Structure 1
Amino acid sequence: MVADPVTELLTRIVSGLVMIAIALAAAVIGGTWFAVLVAAAATMMYYEWSRIVRGWGFHWMVAGFGYVLIPALALLWIRERGAHKLEMLLWVFIVTWSTDIGAYFAGRTIGGPKLAPSISPNKTWAGLIGGMIAAGALGAAWILYFDLSHLWLYLAPLFAVGAQMGDLFESGLKRRAGIKDSGSILPGHGGVLDRLDGLVVVATLTVMVQLSGWL
């Protein structure tokens, strides 16, 4: 049975809004609530990773542990220890989410040449550029509103590329494993790993920049 595109899109939007609301609430509250959310997400990501790489060797299990632990620690550091704690955490969310949304709608609307057909046949160059534009515009608006370092204005579209490369990396893992989604816990989105593969990159890069002394 083929899913109705309108119903599929509505399911994706509603579940996406619910996830955003939960993430924003935990981020604003911070402390234990945010730490619990991050820990739960990391645990689910590692569970899905372990299912994908089952039988590939122990080193893949170790790599997966680092894959989920580093961005989890990065998110906690941004919220509790970094400069402009909440504002920068929300910037990370904005860049990641706007990349996903911009890429999705630009890819669906414009189409065109495929970005990496052997890895993810649905991703296009239009989607990549759409994600960069969305992340650059919304990320810039946030930075300007809170008068944060203008370096982030230039990094937002670059981090959008990183987010989409994270998406392609996870797509490559799934293609090798012969599966479509990392899980089915999130209606319209697949698994937790499917939804957070871009955040893994953006959060990690943000901490690297903050610790680099460039600001």
Structure 2
Amino acid sequence: MSASSEKFSDLAARMSSAAVMAVVGIGAVWAGGFWFMALLTVVCGALVWELVRMLGAGQNRALTMGALAAGSFLAVSLLPPGLGLPFILVPAMAGIALLSSNRTLYMVFAALIVISCYGLAILRVDFGFVWMLWLALVVIATDVLGYFAGRIFGGPKFWPRVSPKKTWSGTVAGWVAAALVGAAFMTVPGVGLEILGISVAISMASQMGDIAESAVKRKMGVKDSSNLIPGHGGVFDRFDGMLGASVFLLLIEQVVDFPPALIG
């Protein structure tokens, strides 16, 4: 097998799985309501299940914590605003009692996972389908163009001790991809040049989420968060970028005029 072929040896599996995930994800976002909530519940539970397994706990403990996270997400989403907020942190706090090691790492990521999923549920209601689609496309474009650019152009590594395969060429290509997605959404009435900067910032946040998960895997000596998704590893391996992007968007929407146009 040539060096070029080796670079893309996982491409067929990645593309097939990505196509299925895109159909399911975008379909759920478009449908909203029950379907989007069901998807987020599954994702939330799967993420915490994978996190606990990566941190060295047993399968039974991982299943318990994953179910707790899924239930907590549903509770905070269905209860009146404010009343359900403690459930965001219930899975993180439970880790103190249920885990024997890596508690701090677990608490931080578990809280971010539930916050991210809850944030996506709120963003879908507040922003509508178009801007949720924009968020998903920014994250996907960042990952896809970064993957191809990194393997085609190579060059200096981004952070080799944490993520040996990531390059600066792929990182910058992700920013370019995000800007192009932002430019496409400038066709929406009321949207100006600010969407370019917001898109690139969201891209950076998604890359930070990716790097954060890579750091956990490196620390624990695991290659993938699980083997649930052929060619991609686990749910965490695919959702890490959205984790960073959604949390960041929740923060910046408080300080910038976003979204510039609300469309259902």
TM-score normalised by the chain length of structure 2: 0.75
| Partner SS state of residue 187, structure 1 | coil
| Partner SS state of residue 169, structure 1 | helix
CA RMSD across the alignment = 1.6
Q: Which runs of 5+ in 2 are unaligned?
A: 57-99, 259-264
**Shift in Å, 1:25:** 0.6
Question: 2:93 corresponds to which residue?
Answer: none
Identity between Structure 1 and Structure 2 (%): 32
Matched positions, count: 209
**Shift in Å, 1:7:** 5.5
1:1-50 CA-to-partner distances (Å, cap 9, x unmatched) read xxx74562111101101000000110110001000101101110001111
Select which of 187, 200, 204 maps to 1:157. 200
Aligned residues of 1:11 and 1:188 also touching (Cα < 8 A): yes
How do 1:1-150 and structure 2 match up within 5 A? Answer: 5=6, 8-54=10-56, 55-80=100-125, 82-83=126-127, 85-141=128-184, 143-150=185-192
| Partner SS state of residue 147, structure 1 | coil
* 1:183 maps to amino acid: S
> Aligned equivalents of 2:210 and 2:34: distance in 1?
29
**Shift in Å, 1:65:** 2.1
Aligned residues of 2:142 and 2:173 also touching (Cα < 8 A): yes
| Partner SS state of residue 214, structure 1 | coil
Aligned residues of 2:206 and 2:240 also touching (Cα < 8 A): yes
* 1:58 maps to amino acid: R
**Shift in Å, 1:138:** 1.6
* 1:171 maps to amino acid: S
**Shift in Å, 1:164:** 1.0
* 2:48 maps to amino acid: Y
> Aligned equivalents of 1:42 and 1:93: distance in 2?
17
Select which of 170, 180, 184 maps to 2:223. 180
| Partner SS state of residue 10, structure 2 | helix
| Partner SS state of residue 112, structure 1 | coil
In 2 relative to 1, CA 213–120 (structure 1 residues): closer, same or farther, beyond 3 Å? closer
**Shift in Å, 1:166:** 1.1
* 2:230 maps to amino acid: P
> Aligned equivalents of 1:102 and 1:122: distance in 2?
14
Q: Which moves more between the two structures, 177-186 or 47-56?
A: 47-56
In 2 relative to 1, CA 156–213 (structure 1 residues): closer, same or farther, beyond 3 Å? closer
Aligned residues of 1:167 and 1:198 also touching (Cα < 8 A): yes
Q: Which moves more between the two structures, 155-164 or 90-99?
A: 155-164
Q: Name the larger-Rg structure.
A: 2
> Aligned equivalents of 1:63 and 1:204: distance in 2?
13
2:254 equivalent to 1:211: yes
**Shift in Å, 1:60:** 3.0
Q: Which moves more between the two structures, 67-76 or 146-155?
A: 146-155
**Shift in Å, 1:145:** 2.4
